[in-house]
Amino acid sequence: MRNSECEKRNDRVAVEALDLTLRFRIPHSTLRICLLFAACTPVTTRPDFKPDPRALVVMLNARPERVAVALDSLLPADSLAVVRFNVRDGYVETSWFDPARHRSYRHERDIADLLGTVKIRCWADPWVPGQTRLTVEPVYRPRVDPSRTERDLEVITPPEHGGYKVAQQLIEKLKQKFGTPQSAR
């Protein structure tokens, strides 16, 4: 005689099957949290320091990605070699540049005029939808000290320095290309 004929259920098998599904069950919220952590990566190409507060700042009518791509094309046109560039992070950094000689230097040991050579860093940050806050930081090194970090030795160029003028020209070209918001004028 079978269980179905006696109308008797095998409770033991049903309980074991239920236990087995509970052991391997993952709540949907836990799965979503795991996917969120996998999607968010803390990796960035930006340096671990913020721009100097005295750096040049301008608001542009474009998304940060467009501004970063425009910077990557404008800088080599002015003989500035781009060392670090990332569209997603909105960051562009040049190698050392001598505005008097219109020449970029890949290595510090090649620099002839330490005070006249400049490095330009650009941060393109989202401001309001469709606008970017661009920070352009022209810096130079007044001295060489291998015991200190590169950032500790850098100083913002004064307005009469050739590197500052290069940064201002770069900003003017970007203003002409993208325009500035009405509130920033």
- Predicted pLDDT of residue 30: 67
User: Is residue 166 pLDDT above 70, yes or no?
Assistant: yes
Q: Which pLDDT score, from 0 to 100, does residue 12 have?
A: 55
Q: What is the mean pLDDT of the chain?
A: 82
**Comparing 3 with 112, which gets the higher pLDDT?**
112
Of 26-30, 42-46, 48-52, 162-166, minimum mean pLDDT range: 26-30
Residue written as tokens 């791509």? 69
**DSSP character at residue 65:** H
pLDDT of 112: 81
> Any idea which of 27-36, 161-170, 175-184 has the lowest mean pLDDT?
27-36
Helix, coil or strand: residue 139: strand
Tell me which residue has tokens 């046109």.
77
Q: Is 179 within 8 Å of 61 (Cβ atoms)?
A: yes
Q: Which among 148, 163, 57, 171 has a CA at the least distance from the CA of 104?
A: 163
Q: What is the pLDDT of residue 61?
A: 94
First to last CA, the chain: 92
- Strand stretches in the chain, DSSP E: 56-60, 82-86, 91-94, 96-98, 103-105, 119-126, 132-140, 155-156
**How do residues 25-39 score in pLDDT, each as one tens digit?**
555 566 566 555 655
Least confident range of 37-41, 51-55, 64-68, 157-161 = 37-41
